Amino acid sequence: MKRAAGARSPRARATRARLKLRPPADHARAIGIFDSGIGGLTVVRAVRKLLPNENLIYLGDTGRYPYGTKSADVVRRYSFENTEFLIEKHVKMLVVACNTSSSLALEDLQERYAVPVIGVIEPGVQAAVQATRNRKVGVIATEGTIRSGEYTRGLRRLRSDLEIYTRACPLFVPLAEEGWVDNQVAHLAAQAYLGSMAQSGIDTLILGCTHYPLLRAVIRDIVGDGVRLIDSGEVTAAVVREMLTQRGILRRGGTGAGSFFVTDAPERFMKVGSRFLGGPVDAVQIER
Amino acid sequence: MKRAAGARSPRARATRARLKLRPPADHARAIGIFDSGIGGLTVVRAVRKLLPNENLIYLGDTGRYPYGTKSADVVRRYSFENTEFLIEKHVKMLVVACNTSSSLALEDLQERYAVPVIGVIEPGVQAAVQATRNRKVGVIATEGTIRSGEYTRGLRRLRSDLEIYTRACPLFVPLAEEGWVDNQVAHLAAQAYLGSMAQSGIDTLILGCTHYPLLRAVIRDIVGDGVRLIDSGEVTAAVVREMLTQRGILRRGGTGAGSFFVTDAPERFMKVGSRFLGGPVDAVQIER
Structure confidence at residue B58 (pLDDT): 98
How many angstroms separate the CA of residue B119 from the nearest CA in chain A?
23
Size of interface A-B (CB pairs under 8 A): 62
Structure confidence at residue A140 (pLDDT): 97
A231 touches chain B (CB under 8 A): no
Nearest beta carbon to residue A185 from set B143, B173, B189: B189
- The residue among A175, A178, A287 with the most chain B CBs within 10 A of its CB, best to mutate, is A178
- How much helix, strand and coil, in percent to the nearest 5, is found in chain B? 50, 15, 35
CA B145/CA B127 separation, integer angstroms: 18
Q: Average pLDDT, stretch B233-243?
A: 97
B74 and A63 within 8 Å at the Cβ level: the answer is yes
A69 touches chain B (CB under 8 A): yes
pLDDT in tens, A41-55: 999 999 999 999 999
How many angstroms separate the CA of residue B189 from the nearest CA in chain A?
6
Confidence of residue B21 (pLDDT cuts 50, 70, 90): low
Inter-residue contact B263 to B285 (CB < 8 Å): yes
SS3 label, residue B266? helix
B265 interaction partners in chain A (CB closer than 8 Å): 69-71
Confidence of residue B253 (pLDDT cuts 50, 70, 90): very high
Q: Which residues, other chains included, contact B284 with Cβ-Cβ below 8 Å and sequence gap of 6+?
A: B259, B260, B261, B262, B266
Q: Average pLDDT, stretch B73-88?
A: 96
B71 touches chain A (CB under 8 A): yes
CA trace torsion B29, B31, B36, B42 (10° rounding): -140
Find the helix or strand (DSSP H, E) in which B141 lies.
strand B136-141
CA A131/CA B28 separation, integer angstroms: 65
Provide the b/e sequence for A197-210 (b: ≥16 CB within 10 Å): bbeeebbbbbbbbb
B171 and A184 within 8 Å at the Cβ level: the answer is no
Structure confidence at residue B3 (pLDDT): 43
Q: Work out the percent of chain B whose per-residue pLDDT is above 70.
A: 92
Q: Which residues, other chains included, contact B281 with Cβ-Cβ below 8 Å and sequence gap of 6+?
A: B41, B258, B260, B269, B270, B273, B274
Structure confidence at residue A166 (pLDDT): 97
A286 touches chain B (CB under 8 A): no
Does the annotation mark A169 as catalytic?
Answer: no
pTM of the entire predicted model: 0.83
A170 and B177 within 8 Å at the Cβ level: the answer is yes
Structure confidence at residue B244 (pLDDT): 96
Chain A residue with Cα closest to B192: A185
Which one is catalytic: A38, A43, A98, A207? A98
Strand order across the B284-285 sheet: B117-119, B93-96, B31-35, B56-60, B258-262, B284-285
**What's the 3-state SS for chain A?**
CCCCCCCCCHHHHHHHHHHCCCCCCHHHCCEEEEECCCCCHHHHHHHHHHCCCCCEEEEECCCCCCCCCCCHHHHHHHHHHHHHHHHCCCCCEEEECCHHHHHHHHHHHHHHCCCCEEECHHHHHHHHHHHCCCCEEEEEECHHHHHHCHHHHHHHHHCCCCEEEEEECCCHHHHHHHCCCCCHHHHHHHHHHHHHHHHCCCCEEEECCCCHHHHHHHHHHHHCCCCEEEEHHHHHHHHHHHHHHHCCCCCCCCCCCEEEEECCCHHHHHHHHHHHHCCCCCCEECCC
B177 touches chain A (CB under 8 A): yes
CA B43/CA B36 separation, integer angstroms: 13
Q: Average pLDDT, stretch B157-171?
A: 96
Max alpha carbon distance in chain A (Å)?
A: 71
Interstrand relation of A163-168 and A117-119 (parallel, antiparallel or unpaired): unpaired
Find the helix or strand (DSSP H, E) in which B268 lies.
helix B266-277
- The residue among B62, B70, B177, B211 with the most chain A CBs within 10 A of its CB, best to mutate, is B70
One-character DSSP codes across B169-214: -TTHHHHHHHT-SSSHHHHHHHHHHHHHHHHTT-SEEEE-STTGGG
Beta-bridge partner residues of A94: A32, A117
Give which of A62, A144, A150 is closest to A106, Cα–Cα. A150
**Residue positions of B annotated with a catalytic role:** 98, 209
Q: Average pLDDT, stretch B69-81?
A: 92
Q: Kindly report the average pLDDT of chain B as a whole number.
A: 92
Count of beta carbons in the 10 Å neighbourhood of residue A187: 18
A65 touches chain B (CB under 8 A): yes
Structure confidence at residue A3 (pLDDT): 44
A71 interaction partners in chain B (CB closer than 8 Å): 63, 264-265
Give which of A112, A110, A90, A51 is closest to A242, Cα–Cα. A51
A179 interaction partners in chain B (CB closer than 8 Å): none
Inter-residue contact B29 to B55 (CB < 8 Å): yes
Structure confidence at residue A1 (pLDDT): 39
Beta-bridge partner residues of A59: A34, A261
Over its C-alpha atoms, chain B yields an Rg (Å, rounded) of 20
CA A266/CA A270 separation, integer angstroms: 6
Q: Average pLDDT, stretch B161-173?
A: 96
- Domains of chain A in start order, with CATH, are 25-119+235-285 (3.40.50.1860), 122-231 (3.40.50.1860)
**DSSP conformation class of B53:** T
| Better-scored residue on pLDDT, B287 or A247 | A247
Confidence of residue B25 (pLDDT cuts 50, 70, 90): confident
Inter-residue contact A27 to A50 (CB < 8 Å): no
B192 interaction partners in chain A (CB closer than 8 Å): 180, 183, 185
How many angstroms separate the CA of residue B284 from the nearest CA in chain A?
14
B64 interaction partners in chain A (CB closer than 8 Å): 64
Would you tell me which residues 19-48 of chain A have a C-beta closer than 8 angstroms to some C-beta of chain B?
none
Count of beta carbons in the 10 Å neighbourhood of residue A126: 17
Which residue positions in chain A have pLDDT lower than 50? Answer: 1-7
Does the annotation mark A98 as catalytic?
Answer: yes
Give which of A32, A18, A163 is closest to A94, Cα–Cα. A32
